[in-house]
């Protein structure tokens, strides 16, 4: 592993070359983004999305690892109850080795969508003909843009890498939502040789033509599915003979929300799903609920997690119902090191990608890339998660979400510059 920060110096000739290459990608960036937006797929089910990405990368001449070989036999949390063919074997990684000594650099983009019904009417994707074609599934967090940026960066840097040093990994990560894919990628060993890792996220309140590199407050999170099993009974004739799984689930839901009260930063808890019962005159025998926890510090999350598990189990016992808690995903907390933020800002200045750099940004949500960055840092490398500005039509994870597509070219330029800087590219030719 290398321990010195990457260099930010890019020659004016190389910066000019990067700008020309990024400008040439503009139309294709928008077309790719709109194609991904129209064909969204949920986490672990990004089968057609992965196929399209692999097809594009193959044309650029990268070594590609995809399908079952990508994640091997590592645990994949949050698969469907009845998985579809190919589920869990999505995502891929593209690799280019310069053959010259140098760092291993990894850029990560995510590719999954959300279970949201997209808005119609004057919502731009609907009005311009690229709205989701899959009812109830939508790219509502910008991952369609991230995937398009990743492909553009692959095309931009490939002809330049013969003048660079080290190895490049372009990671197209599945199942970011819910904090599932990052841990699987890390457990599969893809971060073990990475010296420098970076990931990007569009929007998040950062306006167009602005970027945030001094990012902190990326929250650790964990999610659990709770399954309760009681005993059915006639609700009128003999309710005392039953064990009401629904009432246990309700008390658990209310009680869990009280446990997140804390002066510690970023402490949050939400019960987002609750299902129970079969008929109004039957004491509910089964119930399921799903909850997630967040905290700014991983240690705080672990303490909250232990209390929540104890509470769920104790409440279930009090109601006389059986309980199981199944981990559904999670991510580490993270903050960008100062030297990584300064490096990224230097590259941004050299390339002229974004006109304004925010001096500080509290992320205030979770990001699966934090697990990957933490794994790299734990092995002696360095990592950063950067927020790239794009004005939004509505907030993330909403039916009217959309972003300013002018951010795509700027983002591709910056990311290509980061790779060229980290890999000490010194060869420029048209």
| CATH number assigned to the domain comprising residue 21 | 3.40.630.10
Query: Among residues 204, 154, 211, 184, which one has the least CA distance to residue 32?
Result: 154
Same domain, 200 and 129: yes
**Confidence bin at 199 (pLDDT 50/70/90):** very high
Same domain, 320 and 364: no
**Confidence bin at 178 (pLDDT 50/70/90):** confident
Out of 330, 347, 375, a domain closes at: 330
Quote the pTM value: 0.91
Q: Which residues are annotated as a binding site for Mn(2+)?
A: 141, 143, 177, 201, 397
Task: Flag whether 357 is in a domain.
Answer: yes
Range of the domain at 99: 12-218+334-422
Same domain, 165 and 22: yes
What's the structural domain count of the chain?
2
Q: What is the CATH number of the domain that holds 290?
A: 3.30.70.360
Q: Which residues are annotated as a binding site?
A: 141, 143, 177, 201, 397
Same domain, 125 and 52: yes
pLDDT, residue 81, reads 82
Same domain, 185 and 170: yes
pLDDT digits (tens, 9 = 90+) for 240-275: 999 999 999 999 999 999 999 888 888 999 999 999
Count other Cβ atoms within 10 Å, centred on residue 72: 11
- Identify whether the C-beta of residue 394 lies closer than 8 Å to the C-beta of residue 124: no
Task: Flag whether 1 is in a domain.
Answer: no
Same domain, 304 and 394: no
Task: Flag whether 129 is in a domain.
Answer: yes
Alpha-carbon distance of 290 to 272, in angstroms, equals 6
Alpha-carbon distance of 272 to 77, in angstroms, equals 18
The answer on pLDDT for 427 being more than 60 is no
Task: Flag whether 4 is in a domain.
Answer: no
Task: Flag whether 124 is in a domain.
Answer: yes
Task: Flag whether 21 is in a domain.
Answer: yes
Same domain, 201 and 262: no
Same domain, 65 and 185: yes
Same domain, 316 and 343: no
Strands 215-216 and 268-276: unpaired
Out of 302, 330, 358, a domain closes at: 330
Out of 312, 330, 348, a domain closes at: 330
pLDDT, residue 273, reads 94
Side-chain half-sphere CA neighbours of 379 within 13 A: 18
Q: What are 240's strand-pairing partners?
A: none
Poorest-pLDDT segment among 103-107, 199-203, 239-243, 325-329 = 325-329
Tokens found for residue 389 = 């500005």
| pLDDT, the chain, mean | 94
The answer on pLDDT for 9 being more than 80 is no
pLDDT digits (tens, 9 = 90+) for 280-301: 999 999 999 999 999 998 889 9
Same domain, 111 and 248: no
**Mean predicted confidence (pLDDT) in 61-87:** 93
Same domain, 130 and 265: no
pLDDT, residue 329, reads 85
Task: Flag whether 114 is in a domain.
Answer: yes
Same domain, 174 and 53: yes
Task: Flag whether 5 is in a domain.
Answer: no
Alpha-carbon distance of 157 to 415, in angstroms, equals 9
């Amino acid at each position: 592993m290398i321990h010195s920060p990457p260099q930010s110096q890019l020659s004016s000739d190389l910066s000019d070359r990067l700008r020309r290459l990024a400008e040439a990608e503009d139309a294709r960036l928008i077309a790719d983004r709109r194609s991904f937006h129209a064909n969204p797929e949920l986490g672990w089910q990004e089968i057609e999305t992965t196929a399209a990405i692999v097809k594009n990368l193959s044309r650029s001449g990268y070594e590609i690892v995809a399908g079952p070989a990508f994640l091997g036999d590592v645990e994949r949390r949050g698969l469907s109850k009845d998985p579809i063919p190919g589920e869990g074997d999505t995502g891929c990684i593209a690799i280019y080795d310069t053959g010259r000594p140098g760092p291993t650099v990894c850029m990560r983009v995510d590719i999954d969508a959300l279970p949201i019904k997209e808005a119609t009417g004057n919502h731009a994707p609907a009005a311009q003909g690229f709205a989701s074609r899959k009812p109830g599934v939508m790219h509502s967090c910008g991952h369609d843009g991230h995937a398009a940026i990743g492909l553009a960066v692959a095309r931009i840097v490939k002809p330049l890498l013969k003048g660079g040093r080290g190895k490049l990994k372009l990671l197209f990560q599945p199942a970011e939502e819910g904090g599932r894919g990052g841990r699987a990628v890390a457990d599969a060993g893809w971060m073990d040789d990475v010296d420098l890792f970076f990931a990007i996220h569009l929007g998040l309140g950062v306006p167009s033509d602005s970027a945030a590199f001094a990012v902190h407050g990326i929250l650790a999170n964990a999610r659990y599915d709770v399954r309760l099993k009681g005993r059915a009974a006639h609700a009128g004739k003999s309710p005392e003979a039953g064990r009401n799984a629904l009432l246990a689930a309700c008390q658990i839901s209310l009680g869990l929300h009280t446990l997140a009260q804390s002066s510690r930063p970023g402490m949050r808890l939400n019960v987002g799903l609750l299902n129970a019962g079969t008929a109004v005159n039957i004491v509910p025998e089964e119930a399921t609920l799903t909850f997630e926890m967040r905290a700014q510090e991983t240690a705080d999350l672990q303490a909250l997690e232990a209390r929540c598990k104890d509470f769920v189990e104790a409440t279930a016992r009090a109601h006389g119902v059986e309980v199981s808690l199944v981990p559904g995903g999670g991510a580490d907390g993270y903050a960008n090191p100062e030297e990584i933020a300064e490096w990224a800002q230097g590259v941004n200045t050299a390339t002229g990608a974004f006109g304004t750099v925010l001096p500080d940004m509290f992320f205030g949500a979770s990001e699966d890339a934090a697990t990957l960055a933490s794994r790299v840092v734990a092995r002696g490398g360095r990592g950063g998660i950067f927020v790239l500005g794009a004005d939004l039509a509505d907030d993330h994870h909403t039916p009217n979400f959309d972003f300013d597509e002018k951010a795509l070219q700027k983002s591709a330029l910056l990311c290509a510059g980061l790779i060229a800087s980290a890999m000490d590219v010194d060869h420029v030719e048209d």
